[in-house]
């Protein structure tokens, strides 16, 4: 079942989204070679609670962390650990909070120190694919158009999109209907309506898009060990077009 949010409810979610974006900015500033991902998790926990929000991920399906920290071939949902970030790595920070009972969710892939040009290009294309997908998130369009736009752009640039995981609706629950795929046909799926709030989250791989479970039991990584990248925002469908709720500007 898809829940439609009122303008007032979207306004409250926007408040939470701005707080989450501010937490993300502070967290990104801490990323450096030599830091264990567990330390980023501790920092995120403090930042989320200091913002007045509540932890969204901890305990969800048994997840033990406040955030997900996925490195290189790890795509999503990796548990923060003693693993230390190295120069040239990329790490995806996937973070969420609840604000006045509403969930917000976002992700950014961040360079650790200096990264090579090929890795930088992967990050740039993935981020651009998110922006391209969001432009299709308009009332009257079909949800399949988002995935179609993402897939066409990503594959045109020589990469692949993950098919085993996808974006989702969000609101009083972290994961709601509809599913928001990163691939598909343009004129398929349900019609987007004003009041829907969705998470669009391209997951892009250099090699094959097939995944396997990580050893931590929560994360997913590329089956062929190839590099991956992930960007995500929470987006409201409004009469004036898509509104990104998880950005501070």
Write out the DSSP string of 145-190.
HHHHHHHHHHHHTT-EE-SS--EEE-SSSSSEEEEE-SS--TT-SP
Q: Which residue has the tokens 């071939």?
A: 73
pLDDT in tens, 156-201: 999 999 999 999 999 999 999 999 999 999 889 999 999 999 999 9
Token pair for 214: 């990580």
Q: Which is nearest to 154 in space by CA: 201, 214, 215?
A: 201
Q: Which is nearest to 55 in space by CA: 39, 44, 69?
A: 44
pLDDT in tens, 80-119: 999 999 999 999 999 999 999 999 999 999 999 999 999 9
Query: Does 2 fall in a domain?
Result: no
Query: Does 48 fall in a domain?
Result: yes
pLDDT in tens, 6-38: 999 999 999 999 999 999 999 999 999 999 999
Any idea what the Cα angle at residue 135 is, between residues 194 and 27, rounded to 5°?
95
Query: Does 80 fall in a domain?
Result: yes
**56-59 CB contacts, 8 Å cutoff, 24+ apart:** 56/96, 56/97, 56/98, 56/103, 56/104, 56/105, 56/174, 57/95, 57/96, 57/174
Q: Give the domain CATH number at 133.
A: 3.90.230.10
Q: Which is nearest to 134 in space by CA: 198, 196, 209?
A: 198
Q: Quote the CA–CA distance of 205 and 188 in Å, as a whole number.
A: 24
Number of domains in the chain: 1
Query: Does 207 fall in a domain?
Result: yes
What pLDDT is stored for residue 248 in this prediction?
A: 84
Query: Does 190 fall in a domain?
Result: yes
pLDDT in tens, 40-95: 999 999 999 999 999 999 999 999 999 999 999 999 999 999 999 999 999 999 99
Query: Does 180 fall in a domain?
Result: yes
Tell whether the model's pLDDT for residue 249 goes beyond 80. Answer: no
What pLDDT is stored for residue 9 in this prediction?
A: 98
Query: Does 50 fall in a domain?
Result: yes
Q: For residue 113, is the peptide bond before it cis, meaning its omega torsion is within 30 degrees of 0?
A: no
For the CA atoms of the chain, what is the radius of gyration? 17
Domain that holds residue 223: 7-244
Query: Does 249 fall in a domain?
Result: no
At a CB cut-off of 8 Å and minimum separation 6, what does 96 contact? 20, 56, 57, 67, 103, 104, 105, 106, 174
Any idea what the Cα angle at residue 17 is, between residues 234 and 109, rounded to 5°?
60
Phi/psi of residue 82, nearest 5 degrees: -85, 0
């Amino acid at each position: 079942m898809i829940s439609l949010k009122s303008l007032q409810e979207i306004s409250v979610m926007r408040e939470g989204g701005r707080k989450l974006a501010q937490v993300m900015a502070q967290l990104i500033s801490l990323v450096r070679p030599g830091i264990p991902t567990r330390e980023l998790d501790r920092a995120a926990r403090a930042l989320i609670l200091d913002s007045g929000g509540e932890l969204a991920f901890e305990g969800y399906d048994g997840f033990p962390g406040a955030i997900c920290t996925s490195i290189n071939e790890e795509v999503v949902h990796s548990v923060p650990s003693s693993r230390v970030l190295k120069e040239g790595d990329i790490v995806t920070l996937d973070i969420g909070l609840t604000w006045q009972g509403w969930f917000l969710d976002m992700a950014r892939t961040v360079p650790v120190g200096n990264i090579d040009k090929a890795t930088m290009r992967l990050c740039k294309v993935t981020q651009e694919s998110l922006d391209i997908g969001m432009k299709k998130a308009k009332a009257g369009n079909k949800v399949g158009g988002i995935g179609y736009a993402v897939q066409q752009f990503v594959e045109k640039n020589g990469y692949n999109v993950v098919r085993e995981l996808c974006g989702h609706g969000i609101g009083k629950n972290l994961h709601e209907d509809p599913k928001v795929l990163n691939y598909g046909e343009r004129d398929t799926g349900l019609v987007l309506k004003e009041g829907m709030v969705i998470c669009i989250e391209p997951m892009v791989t250099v090699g094959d898009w097939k995944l396997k479970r990580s050893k931590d039991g929560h994360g997913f990584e590329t089956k062929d060990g190839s590099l991956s990248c992930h960007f995500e925002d929470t987006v409201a469908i409004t009469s004036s077009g898509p509104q990104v709720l998880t950005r501070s500007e």
